[in-house]
Amino acid sequence: MAVDLWFTENHTKNARFSMKVDKLIFTKQSEFQRIDIFDSLEFGRVLTLDGYTMLTEKDEYMYHEMIVHVPMCVHPEAENVLVIGGGDGGTVRELARYDSIKNIDLVEIDEDVVTACQKYLPSTASRLDDPRVKKHYEDGLKFIRHHENEYDVIIVDSTDPFGPGEGLFTREFYGNCYRALKEDGIMVNQHESPFYTDTAYAMQRAHERIVQSFPISRVYEVHIPTYPSGHWLFGFASKKYHPYKNVDFKRWERLNLKTRYYNVKLHAASFALPTYVEEMLREVEHNAS
């Protein structure tokens, strides 16, 4: 009889999510975190860091398409893009589909994540060797201090606000992202979930800090079945462009990019938030003003 092996993640102290494991593929304690890759029966191959699900083959496209195509549709001519975190390569894979992009700086603190994903998760890491991608193995918080008026789009594809990702949710970091962007730049960030108390607090705190740094700051939602509660948010912060008004959606459609989750109707709709989320955002916007 086969062993009944399950991976379980605590979504809160009192709620858990489990996936039946077929086979453990890779395990390593890096300088920064514990990296595991395993095959699951329901979700395909899975990457976890310190026991938290980063991606599964079955639903990663929802996350990566929404973190990339929303800002890339809004910005009319993004050429220079910075990705902070994102060592699995899913964000870079989506960006690399735009011929208009000339340079992608990928700033990932942990080289071991990149090496492991290139070997065991080729479906997400496939474009990490694109000649336009420059990999920098360092802390995004430090990297961003030395850049000014350089990027069209910054994508913060980070882990949660504890461990190595903590600094990527600070006011200093968001302020430096603002400085590193050109005068019409856009920053999009992994913004946690509004549903459970811990992640809701993190998302409110992030929103309060971003509102203090950027003139335009909105939040949009995405459905990611394997993340806590399945209801996830991204932050859209911008110096000039509104996230969906006056956007040339036809221009994006002419690019003919085939997507599985993102489309231009969903783009605007994803900024329509449930009332309880709007209330949480308003609460901190009020504190920030």
Using CB under 6 A as the binding criterion, the count of chain residues that bind ligand SAM stands at 25
Conformational region of residue 62, where left means phi above 0, alpha means psi within -120 to 50, and beta covers everything else: alpha
Tell whether residue 161 is a contact of ligand SAM (CB under 6 A). Answer: no
Backbone angles phi, psi at 280, to 5 degrees: -65, -40
Q: At its nearest, how many Å lie between ligand SAM and the CB of residue 32?
A: 6
Cβ closest to ligand SAM, residue 165 vs residue 243: 165
Let me know: does 224 contact 62? Beta carbons within 8 Å: yes
Cα distance between residue 263 and residue 249, in whole Å:
9
Tell whether residue 89 is a contact of ligand SAM (CB under 6 A). Answer: no
Tell whether residue 108 is a contact of ligand SAM (CB under 6 A). Answer: yes
Let me know: does 210 contact 235? Beta carbons within 8 Å: yes
Q: At its nearest, how many Å lie between ligand SAM and the CB of residue 3?
A: 27
Active site residue 59: no
Tell whether residue 198 is a contact of ligand SAM (CB under 6 A). Answer: no
Alpha helices in the chain (DSSP H): 60-74, 90-95, 111-120, 122-125, 140-143, 171-180, 197-213, 249-254, 264-269, 275-288
Q: At its nearest, how many Å lie between ligand SAM and the CB of residue 240?
A: 26
For ligand SAM, the binding residue among 61, 63, 178, 244 (CB under 6 A) is 63
For ligand SAM, the binding residue among 40, 48, 124, 159 (CB under 6 A) is 159
- Please return the burial class of 115, using the count of CB atoms within 10 Å of its CB with bins 0-12, 13-18 and 19+: middle
Tell whether residue 139 is a contact of ligand SAM (CB under 6 A). Answer: yes
Tokens found for residue 239: 């110096």
Choice among 88, 152, 157, 160 that is catalytic: 157
Tokens found for residue 220: 């949009």
Catalytic sites, residue numbers: 157
- Which residues in this chain contact ligand SAM in the complex, by CB under 6 A? 49, 54-55, 63, 84-88, 107-110, 113, 139-141, 157-159, 164-165, 167-168, 190
